[in-house]
Amino acid sequence: MEAYTTFAEVYDEFMDNIPYEEWCRYIISLLKQYNVKNEGIIAELGCGTGSITRILSKSGYNMIGIDNSEDMLSIARKKSTEDEDILYLLQDMREFELYGTVDAVISICDSMNYITDDEDMVTVLKLVNNYLEKDGIFIFDMNTEYKYRSILADNTFAENREECSFIWENCYDEEEMINEYALTLFIKEDEYYKKYEEFHYQRAYTIEKMTELIKESGMELIAVYDAFTMNKPTKTSERVYFVLKETYQKDKTYI
């Protein structure tokens, strides 16, 4: 799983078009629907620079942000204010550890698509189940196969700004269902622009495949929604939200 390195420096600038407040209102509505109180403890997997983590913290949730990129977490910590009591942990979601159980776990911005192996996905789900309180909820989103195949496909995207620019060459392997992002970054340093390259890989999962893996993990699938709605996904849904519930297992290690 590729960690964000150089891209972390300009991530927030290029993501300034993401309506984080709107996304968080949707997440909060799901949390409330599934009885997670706003003073509850929530762990966020793949928290990045902490944009969603901070909004949920200000909404009353006790937040733990987990990411495997030291560069992203460094920026998240710098953005935090004194009134935000957020614990940031540098951990890979495939082997994360918490000091106790939490009321909910979330993973937003297609972080779960970075898990490209079935066995790793089941491991993540089992870990989540292990650290959830009784009847706790796991909410995560995923880019769909339709988005990778028909929207991103083998296209090239570019954006030019004063302090930084990028070229994003996308390639989707339909047989392997693996999407490759080849990022070329140009970041201004003094009067010059320095070139950097990063490669990121995500996997497309069908709802049927995720249902199979969720069942294998022992968690309970509650619902799948077309993103930011309470509707069922369609053939042209670009992003979907999964809601899973904690289940008791006799080999589960309660903290």
pLDDT, tens digit, for every residue of 147-167? 999 999 999 999 888 778 889
Q: Give domain status of residue 191, yes or no.
A: yes
Same domain assignment for residues 192 and 216: no
Q: For residue 160, give its domain range.
A: 146-203
- Contact partners, residue 197, CB within 8 Å, separation at least 6: 182, 183, 184, 185
Q: Give domain status of residue 54, yes or no.
A: yes
Q: Give domain status of residue 254, yes or no.
A: no
Q: Give domain status of residue 1, yes or no.
A: no
Same domain assignment for residues 129 and 21: yes
Read off the pLDDT of each residue in 106-128 and give the average, rounded to a whole number. Answer: 97
The share of the chain scoring above pLDDT 90, in percent, equals: 71
Same domain assignment for residues 69 and 178: no
Same domain assignment for residues 173 and 217: no
Same domain assignment for residues 196 and 209: no
Same domain assignment for residues 60 and 125: yes
3-state secondary structure of 212: helix
Q: Measure CA 249 to chain center.
A: 26
Look at residue 53 and tell me whether its pLDDT is greater than 90: yes
Q: Give domain status of residue 255, yes or no.
A: no
Is pLDDT larger for residue 254 or for residue 97? Answer: 97
Instruction: Please give the span between the terminal C-alpha atoms of the chain, in angstroms, as a whole number.
Output: 27
Residue 255: the pLDDT is 44
Same domain assignment for residues 136 and 153: no
- Contact partners, residue 229, CB within 8 Å, separation at least 6: none
Same domain assignment for residues 108 and 183: no
Residue 192: the pLDDT is 85
- CATH number at 166 reads 2.20.25.110
The tally of domains found in the chain comes to: 2
Angle between helices 118-131 and 207-217 (to 10 degrees): 50
Same domain assignment for residues 179 and 87: no
Residue 205: the pLDDT is 98
Same domain assignment for residues 40 and 64: yes
CA distance 19 to 38: 21
Read off the pLDDT of each residue in 106-132 and give the average, rounded to a whole number. Answer: 97
Look at residue 2 and tell me whether its pLDDT is greater than 50: no
Q: Which of 59, 145, 66 is nearest to 106 (CA)?
A: 66
Same domain assignment for residues 76 and 166: no
Q: Give domain status of residue 251, yes or no.
A: no
- CATH number at 16 reads 3.40.50.150
Residue 133: pLDDT band by 50, 70, 90 thresholds? very high
Look at residue 235 and tell me whether its pLDDT is greater than 60: yes
Q: Give domain status of residue 240, yes or no.
A: yes
Tens digit of pLDDT for each residue in 20-44?
999 999 999 999 999 998 889 999 9
Q: Is the pTM of this model over 0.85?
A: yes
Same domain assignment for residues 159 and 75: no
Residue 97: the pLDDT is 96
Residue 218: the pLDDT is 95
Residue 253: the pLDDT is 59
